Amino acid sequence: MKAATANKEEEEPEKGDRSTMSFLEHLDELRKRLVRCALFVLIAFLICWYFSSRIYHFLEIPVRKAMVEAKRASGFEVGVKIGDRFRIDDLNDGDEMNFTFPTDCKLKVLDSDGKEAESALVTAGSTIRVKLKHTAEGLVQLVTETYWLINSDKVIHPGAVIPPELYSSKAQQMSPDNRLVVGTVQGAFNLYIKVSFYAAIFFTMPLLLVQAWGFIAPGLYPHEKKYAAPFIAMASVFFLLGCAFAYYIAFPRAANFLLGVANEGNLRPLVTADDYFELIMTIMLGLGLVFEMPTLTFFFARLGLITPKLLLKIWRYAIIVIFIIAAVLSPTTDIPNLLVFAAPMLLLYFLSVGIAWVFHKKRRTEADVKADEGQKRIDD
């Protein structure tokens, strides 16, 4: 009887140290992992806070483009007879024109030696006479033609160069009418706090996944722990792909639709920075998590918990769930934008079926692995 019990204990698979841990030890391990995650996020937060304005300016590009496109689509057109249309690059040196500043900006005022003396604030809508000039590198510059008085106390000399970004293809996005607004004095500060926090989570995602894996790994068989690197790599890549899809495809289409509806009703939307940030982060994080479907499928298929047969059996229910999730993530109620969110999820689901078919394995205990290795040695 004792021999049978001993043999049974030898065959019992060991899942690691976690199998002998008490409930309180589990909680202590979880606390350590959460503390590490908090430290990672805190360090990343301090770094992101330094770049918070740049991060937010990157995030607001889609909505500012959508605002420009909406204005172009609904602009009041009048008949103006013009000649053939051409680009600024087609003009010759010395050609003159009027230039209107699209936004408030600071121009550097130089002294007679060419050194910066001070900066002068130029308000949006200011118009000056400029002429075109080509540099030795072939670049186009607009330079002031005559003396120019700013703010009644600063004079810009002829030949001052207008910053190229003010007449680039993105200049219209810099217009004050296309800026997002904050409703309170501390609004910008609170906004940058949220930007830094979400950015910290985004950049520390691989480290957070490492900690999550470190918590669950002791409950796995030793041969299953080797899936750590593929799991973390796939999860990080697919999360990034989901966020990129939201930023470059899903949200711009939704923003164009929503702002187009406002313009059709002869309404001017007052887009607040807080509302916009909450919206785009919800969409980006939501699609980032949705794009983890292949990663989870790979992991559970390797553990033998998911089979391609099971995924194909429940595909009808999966499609219903996918459209429900798409309806929650989509900020609009129209069918085309709903399909923009649902289509990639459908593709990911059937991609997951293929992943489960390729990587599915029947779950084996550690005793099975040792038995296979012993049989292989006998065969050799």
pLDDT score of 272: 84
Joined tokens for residue 30: 């979880």
Mean pLDDT score of the chain, rounded to an integer? 78
- CA separation for the pair 110, 357 (Å, rounded): 69
- CA separation for the pair 348, 116 (Å, rounded): 56
- Top-confidence residue, 78 or 196: 196
What's the rounded mean pLDDT across residues 55-81? 71
pLDDT score of 1: 45
What's the rounded mean pLDDT across residues 2-22? 49
pLDDT score of 36: 93
Contact 238, 294 (CB under 8 A): yes
pLDDT score of 117: 61
Per residue in 271-287, pLDDT tens?
Answer: 888 888 888 888 888 89
Nearest to 230 by CA among 243, 216, 213: 213
Q: Which amino acid is at 167?
A: Y
Element of type H or E holding 64? helix 61-74
Of the given ranges (46-55, 64-73, 346-355), which has the lowest mean pLDDT? 64-73
pLDDT score of 301: 86
Residue with tokens 């949006």: 124
- Top-confidence residue, 9 or 218: 218
Per residue in 186-203, pLDDT tens?
Answer: 888 999 999 999 999 989
CA distances from 35 to 86, 199, 203, 206 (A): 61, 19, 17, 16
Per residue in 43-58, pLDDT tens?
Answer: 999 999 999 989 988 8
Quickly state the pLDDT bin for 39 (edges 50, 70, 90).
very high
Per residue in 147-181, pLDDT tens?
Answer: 777 766 677 777 777 777 777 666 555 555 567 78
Nearest to 284 by CA among 166, 348, 220, 201: 201
Neighbouring residues of 242: CB distance < 8 A, sequence distance ≥ 6: 284, 287, 288, 289, 290, 291, 292
Quickly state the pLDDT bin for 4 (edges 50, 70, 90).
very low
- CA separation for the pair 362, 223 (Å, rounded): 13
Share of the chain above pLDDT 70, in %: 76
- CA separation for the pair 287, 244 (Å, rounded): 9
Q: What is the DSSP letter of 272?
A: B
Residue with tokens 């009048």: 78
pLDDT score of 44: 95
Strand partners, 150: 154
Of the given ranges (21-30, 244-253, 290-299), which has the lowest mean pLDDT? 21-30
Joined tokens for residue 140: 């186009």
Counting DSSP H helices and E strands in the chain, the numbers are 14, 7
CA distances from 174 to 97, 106, 109, 124 (A): 21, 14, 22, 10
- CA separation for the pair 291, 349 (Å, rounded): 10
pLDDT score of 330: 84
Joined tokens for residue 356: 């489960």
Contact 126, 100 (CB under 8 A): yes
- Top-confidence residue, 224 or 214: 214
pLDDT score of 74: 60
Strand partners, 149: 155
Contact 97, 86 (CB under 8 A): no
